[in-house]
């Protein structure tokens, strides 16, 4: 290893040589290799975090290149899975670190195996269903989980420390309504960089065992607004995830989204495990720019989107025509309804 490689980081006294050694010994799980995941992963790999696992279910598309910083036009043309393209680039950035790229949909079936073998999890997902699954596993296995989200010019970040802070489940009722996605209202790259700057700073503090004041931070970079919220009082002693009698509801099979491949129809049906209602009229308005042939009646909304035809029912169920891959169908579903 080149002695100079981490010298500027080691000169920074809260990290120093001792902290640098801790980073080298660390194992970090990144769930998602989109805008947040690629930005955070690059910073962690450059910082010398010894082992990074990055998991994603999607592949690289043209619309990703505006903000997903590890990808190139070549990755789009080769239709590489994001986890593979991200791993390739990260190994070029720093060959000294171990980078695992896993092409998978993180869900209640596989999340505990992933979480157990890491010391820290970074949220780079695009939906709250997956976040709550990770949150359950993180609390159950006592692994810190740094929540991050962004859409349009707005973003949020919160470091969840099991046993110390409220968990994401405790905070759910206090977060802004999540009915917008980057695919429906867009996103600008600077908010991604702002959110991941705070997320990775929290990660560095946790990994080097520096003092961390866990605060929910929210930003609107376009409006130049920022809020820092002390959420300690929101820890709910009856929380089903982090309370005194945890049941970890999001790890239970019955509460997970079920995907059924409809034989011979090149269609996947998705049925959310948790109660969910989709306001079809509002969704139709948001889809105007994005989708074609949007029709809505009191029961369902149908539209074309890229090479797919989508049908959303108001109880949250959906049919994704044009694929027989459950992970692909879930990726599309979460892009549209979050
Ligand atoms: Zn909780």
Q: 240 alpha carbon to ligand 1 midpoint, in Å?
A: 7
Beta strands in 32-179 (DSSP E): 51-56, 98-103, 120-123, 145-151, 154-160
Q: 69 alpha carbon to ligand 1 midpoint, in Å?
A: 33
Bridge pairing between strands 292-296 and 300-305: antiparallel
Residues annotated catalytic, as ranges: 182
Q: 65 alpha carbon to ligand 1 midpoint, in Å?
A: 36
The Cα 52–Cα 24 span in angstroms is 10
State the burial class of residue 220 (Cβ atoms within 10 Å of its Cβ: 0-12, 13-18, 19+).
middle
Q: Which residue has the tokens 């709250």?
A: 128
The Cα 26–Cα 273 span in angstroms is 34
Q: For the chain, how far is it from start to end, CA to CA, in angstroms? A: 43
In this model, does residue 1 exceed pLDDT 70? no
8-state DSSP, 150: E
Tokens of 76: 């789009």
Q: Which residue has the tokens 């970090």?
A: 28
pTM reported for the whole predicted model: 0.86
Q: Cβ atoms within 10 A of the Cβ of 213, count?
A: 10
pLDDT one-digit tens code per residue, 54-102? 999 888 999 999 999 999 999 999 989 999 999 999 999 999 999 999 9
Q: What is the mean pLDDT of residues 274-300?
A: 86
Contacts of 269 (CB under 8 A, 6+ apart): 259, 260, 262, 317, 318, 319, 320
pLDDT one-digit tens code per residue, 102-132? 998 899 989 999 999 999 999 999 888 899 9
The Cα 76–Cα 64 span in angstroms is 9
Q: 143 alpha carbon to ligand 1 midpoint, in Å?
A: 14
pLDDT one-digit tens code per residue, 127-148? 888 999 999 999 999 999 999 9
State the burial class of residue 271 (Cβ atoms within 10 Å of its Cβ: 0-12, 13-18, 19+).
middle
What domains does the chain contain, in order, with CATH numbers? 7-251 (3.40.50.720), 257-337 (3.30.310.10)
Residue 258's alpha-carbon distances to 303, 310, 326, in angstroms, are: 22, 17, 9
Q: How confident is the model at residue 314 (pLDDT cuts 50, 70, 90)?
A: confident
Centroid of chain to Cα 295: 30
């Amino acid at each position: 290893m080149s002695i100079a490689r981490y010298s500027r980081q080691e000169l920074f006294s809260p990290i120093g040589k001792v902290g640098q050694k801790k980073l080298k010994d660390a194992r970090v799980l990144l769930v998602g290799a989109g805008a947040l995941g690629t930005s955070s992963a690059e910073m962690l790999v450059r910082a010398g975090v010894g082992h990074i696992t990055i998991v994603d279910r999607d592949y690289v598309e043209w619309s990703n290149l505006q903000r997903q910083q590890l990808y190139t036009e070549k990755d789009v043309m080769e239709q590489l899975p994001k986890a593979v393209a991200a791993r390739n680039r990260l190994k070029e950035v720093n060959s000294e670190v171990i980078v695992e790229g896993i092409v998978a949909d993180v869900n209640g079936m596989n999340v505990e195996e992933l979480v157990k073998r890491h010391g820290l999890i970074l949220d780079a997902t695009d939906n709250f269903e997956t976040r709550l699954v990770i949150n359950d596993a993180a609390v159950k296995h006592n692994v810190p989980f740094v929540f991050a989200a962004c859409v349009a010019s707005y973003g949020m970040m919160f470091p969840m420390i099991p046993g110390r802070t409220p968990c994401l489940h405790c905070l759910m009722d206090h977060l802004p309504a999540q009915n917008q996605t980057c695919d429906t209202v867009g996103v600008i790259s600077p908010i991604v960089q702002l959110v991941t700057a705070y997320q990775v700073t929290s990660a560095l503090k946790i990994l080097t065992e520096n003092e961390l004041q866990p605060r929910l931070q929210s930003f609107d970079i376009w409006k130049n607004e920022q809020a820092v919220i002390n959420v300690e009082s929101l820890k709910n002693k009856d929380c089903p995830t982090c309370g005194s009698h945890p049941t970890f509801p999001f790890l239970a099979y019955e509460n997970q989204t079920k995907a059924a491949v409809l034989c011979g129809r090149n269609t996947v049906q998705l049925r959310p495990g948790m109660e969910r209602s989709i306001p079809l009229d509002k969704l139709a308005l948001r889809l105007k720019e994005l989708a074609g042939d949007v029709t809505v009646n009191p029961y369902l909304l149908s539209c074309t989107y890229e090479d797919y035809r989508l049908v959303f029912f108001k109880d949250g169920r959906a049919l994704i025509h044009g694929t027989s891959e459950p992970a692909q169908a879930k990726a599309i579903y979460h892009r549209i309804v979050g």
